[in-house]
């Protein structure tokens, strides 16, 4: 039966009240990503970076899934074939909507990471740089989020899913950040059909066999309903 691979980005959580990065008013138009989303920025001013992620975590905790997240959970439950859900997002709205086995390639807000020993634990409400790691006790606490210049998580699993995909669907992402922006080309090379569901054409719109444009909370449930017949 058909294997569906889905990639989501910030656009799927926009209607849940979480900002995107590159839209007008997006996070990277108000903050400099070099200061907040790179290992160098963290080394320069860990307090500033952790304050930013404490604020983001608070907003994620207050957010609720929208009909797009719920539709993907329904697809995963009712589709007779396989559904692999890869997200660039660090929120847990897919899980809150009922999706399972979500592949968080850019990490997640909900866990803390020890930069010294690699230990992970549930992120505290307020994360501070001197917090001792529960495993090695060294003050090396950081968000478990993949920053620019770092290697995304689960790339082997993602490569395997793309190479056996029959359908690749990109939802709510600008297609500007690699390696995620390269997934459509990889899926096509493996013979998959490609579909883009986005508010507007993304940077790599030409890689998609089909595109539907509009808010995710409308076009994603419509697509899932049609697919499940």
Q: How far is it, in rounded angstroms, from Cα 79 to Cα 129? A: 44
Segment interacting with ligand APR (CB under 6 A) among 108-116, 161-169, 193-201, 204-212:
193-201
Does position 26 bind ligand APR by CB under 6 A? yes
Could you count the other beta carbons within 10 Å of the beta carbon of residue 102?
22
Applying CB under 6 A, does 204 fall inside the site for ligand APR? no
Candidate list 23, 35, 131, 166; residue touching ligand APR; CB under 6 A: 23
Select from 5, 7, 14, 133 the one that contacts ligand APR (CB under 6 A): 14
Task: In angstroms, give the least distance from the CB of 124 to ligand APR.
Answer: 22
Q: Determine, following the binding rule CB under 6 A, whether residue 11 of this chain makes contact with ligand APR.
A: yes
Alpha helices in the chain (DSSP H): 27-30, 33-36, 39-44, 46-62, 67-78, 93-97, 155-163, 183-189, 216-228
Catalytic-role residue among 69, 104, 106, 109? 106
Q: Note whether 20 and 207 are within 8 A (CB).
A: no
For residues 136 and 117, the answer to whether their CB atoms sit within 8 Å is yes
69 is catalytic: no
Distance CA 224, CA 182 (A): 24
Token pair, residue 76, equals 């995963």
Shortest Å distance, C-beta 225 to ligand APR = 17
Residues 145 and 107: their CA atoms lie apart, in Å, by 4
Q: Which of residues 173-192 bind ligand APR (CB under 6 A)?
A: 173-174, 176-177
Among residues 108 and 141, whose Cβ is nearest to ligand APR? 108
The residue with tokens 């096509």 is 188
**Site string (53-92) toward ligand APR, x via CB under 6 A:** -----------------------------------x----
Q: Which two tokens stand for residue 103?
A: 């592949």
Contact residues: ligand APR, CB under 6 A: 9-11, 14-15, 20-23, 26, 88, 106, 172-174, 176-177, 198-200, 202, 215-216
Residues annotated catalytic, as ranges: 106
């Amino acid at each position: 039966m058909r294997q569906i691979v889905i990639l989501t980005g910030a656009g799927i959580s926009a209607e849940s009240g979480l900002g995107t990065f590159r839209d007008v008013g997006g996070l990277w138009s108000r903050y400099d990503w070099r200061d907040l989303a790179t290992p160098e920025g963290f080394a320069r001013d860990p307090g500033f970076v952790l304050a930013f992620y404490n604020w983001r975590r608070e907003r994620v905790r207050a957010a609720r899934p929208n009909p797009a997240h719920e539709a993907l959970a329904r697809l995963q439950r009712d589709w007779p074939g396989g559904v692999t859900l890869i997200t660039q997002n660090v929120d847990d709205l897919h899980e809150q909507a009922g999706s399972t086995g979500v592949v968080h390639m850019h990490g997640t807000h909900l866990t803390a990471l020890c930069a010294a020993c690699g230990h992970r634990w549930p992120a505290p409400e307020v994360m501070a740089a001197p917090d001792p790691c529960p495993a090695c006790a060294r003050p090396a606490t950081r968000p478990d989020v993949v920053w620019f210049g770092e290697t995304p998580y689960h790339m082997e699993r993602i490569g395997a899913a793309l190479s056996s995909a029959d359908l690749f669907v990109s939802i709510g992402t600008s297609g500007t950040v690699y390696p995620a922006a390269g997934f459509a080309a990889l899926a096509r090379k493996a013979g998959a059909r490609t579909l883009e569901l986005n508010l507007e054409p993304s940077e790599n719109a030409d890689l998609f066999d089909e595109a539907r444009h509009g808010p995710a909370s409308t076009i994603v449930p419509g697509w899932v309903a049609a697919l499940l017949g």
